[in-house]
Structure 1
Amino acid sequence: MQLEARASSDKTSQEARRSARRELFVSPHFWMICIFNIAFLAYLWGINGWLPGYLIKGKGIHLEHAGWLSSMPFIAMLLGEIIGAWLSDHVDRRAAACFISLAGAGIGLAAVMHFTTPLPVIAAMSFSTFMWGTGAPNIFALLAKATHPRVSATAGGIFNGLGNFAGALSPAVMGALIAFTHSMDSGLIFLAVMAAVGCALLLPLLRRY
């Protein structure tokens, strides 16, 4: 009896998992969040790959100052992650937190391109990375809210796989744009456009999550 009950329970669990997986694959909200994550990680990979070079070649900051100046935005990013996690746990509006985060990051990049002297450039870039950091803890919480716990591993694997693969291409795309246009700003324009696309995709989710 016990073996039959266990077999029946396992079969029911497998059927429930398959049903949840089918729902996941046809869920527009899941795919919107995945594409948002691509835009989100494109920013991170792009900044990691091009920030020092942009400061030196794009803004004329001297090599001996570029090292410590380029570290400031990443310190700001860390602070953003800490503050963003604390605030979002109190408010519990994950989609809104992610939207504001990437929108702020894009606005910061737009400001960077309009400044020419080192301190305003670093301040604007630090604002941009700080805003990105506020969304980093929330994007995983957003995925968890939008997907069934039975398929959390499947959802997380697709989410991370697509995001990191596409994000890893970001520095290459930026390099190609810079080579084609002969302007370092074109790389930041690409990241700003990606941020705008990501924010647009998240609009339908703001009230629900």
Structure 2
Amino acid sequence: MQLEARASSDKTSQEARRSARRELFVSPHFWMICIFNIAFLAYLWGINGWLPGYLIKGKGIHLEHAGWLSSMPFIAMLLGEIIGAWLSDRVDRRAAACFISLAGAGIGLAAVMHFTTPLPVIAAMSFSTFMWGTGAPNIFALLAKATHPRVSATAGGIFNGLGNFAGALSPAVMGALIAFTHSMDSGLIFLAVMAAVGCALLLPLLRRY
């Protein structure tokens, strides 16, 4: 009797997982979050790959200063992650936190392109990375909030796989744009456009999550 009950329970559990998986694959909210994550990680990979080169070639910052200056935005990013996690747990508005984060990052990049002297450039870039950091803890919480616990591993695998694959292409796309336009700013414009697309995708989710 116990074996029959266990077999019946396992079968019910498998059917529930299959049903949850089908719901996941046809959920527009899940795919919106995945595409947002692509834009989100494109920013991270792009900044990691091009920030020192942008400061030296795009803004004329001397090589001996570029090292410590380029570390400031990443320190700001870390602070943003800590503060963003604390604030979001208190408010529990994950989609809004992610939206504000990427919008702020994009605005910061737009400001960077308008400055020419080192300190304003670094301040604007640090603001941009700080804002990105505030969203980093929330993107995973948003995914968990929008998907069924039974398929959390499947959702996380697709989410991370697509995001990291597309994000890894970001430095290559930026390099191609810079080579084609002969302007370092074109790389930042690409990241700002990606940020705008990501924010637009989250608009339908702001009230729900």
| TM-score > 0.5 by shorter chain | yes
How far the C-alpha of 1:157 sits from its partner, in A, is 0.1
User: Equivalent residue of 1:114, what SS?
Assistant: coil
Q: Give the corresponding residue for 1:203.
A: 203
Distance 1:3 1:45 in 2: 51
User: Equivalent residue of 1:152, what SS?
Assistant: helix
How far the C-alpha of 1:23 sits from its partner, in A, is 0.1
Distance 1:199 1:72 in 2: 25
How far the C-alpha of 1:108 sits from its partner, in A, is 0.0
How far the C-alpha of 1:42 sits from its partner, in A, is 0.0
User: Equivalent residue of 1:154, what SS?
Assistant: helix
How far the C-alpha of 1:45 sits from its partner, in A, is 0.0
Distance 1:204 1:70 in 2: 36
How far the C-alpha of 1:122 sits from its partner, in A, is 0.0
How far the C-alpha of 1:138 sits from its partner, in A, is 0.1
The aligned runs of 1:1-209 (5 Å cut-off) are 1-209=1-209
Distance 1:32 1:177 in 2: 26
How far the C-alpha of 1:205 sits from its partner, in A, is 0.1
How far the C-alpha of 1:181 sits from its partner, in A, is 0.0
Which whole-Å deviations, capped at 9, do the CAs of 1:89-115 have from their partners, x for residues lacking one? 000000000000000000000000000
User: Equivalent residue of 1:36, what SS?
Assistant: helix
Distance 2:164 2:145 in 1: 21
Distance 2:181 2:201 in 1: 28
How far the C-alpha of 1:125 sits from its partner, in A, is 0.0
How far the C-alpha of 1:47 sits from its partner, in A, is 0.0
Which whole-Å deviations, capped at 9, do the CAs of 1:50-81 have from their partners, x for residues lacking one? 00000000000000000000000000000000
How far the C-alpha of 1:163 sits from its partner, in A, is 0.0
User: Equivalent residue of 1:72, what SS?
Assistant: helix
How far the C-alpha of 1:49 sits from its partner, in A, is 0.1
User: Equivalent residue of 1:60, what SS?
Assistant: coil
CA-atom RMSD, angstroms? 0.1
How far the C-alpha of 1:9 sits from its partner, in A, is 0.1
Distance 1:130 1:36 in 2: 18
How far the C-alpha of 1:180 sits from its partner, in A, is 0.0
How far the C-alpha of 1:130 sits from its partner, in A, is 0.0
Distance 1:54 1:109 in 2: 12
Structure 1 gap segments, 5+ residues each = none
How far the C-alpha of 1:5 sits from its partner, in A, is 0.2
Distance 2:122 2:59 in 1: 10
How far the C-alpha of 1:35 sits from its partner, in A, is 0.1
What percentage of aligned pairs have identical amino acids?
100
TM-score, reference length from structure 2: 1.00
How far the C-alpha of 1:83 sits from its partner, in A, is 0.1
Which whole-Å deviations, capped at 9, do the CAs of 1:12-70 have from their partners, x for residues lacking one? 00000000000000000000000000000000000000000000000000000000000
Distance 2:41 2:145 in 1: 20
How far the C-alpha of 1:143 sits from its partner, in A, is 0.0
TM-score, reference length from structure 1: 1.00
How far the C-alpha of 1:168 sits from its partner, in A, is 0.0
Structure 2 gap segments, 5+ residues each = none
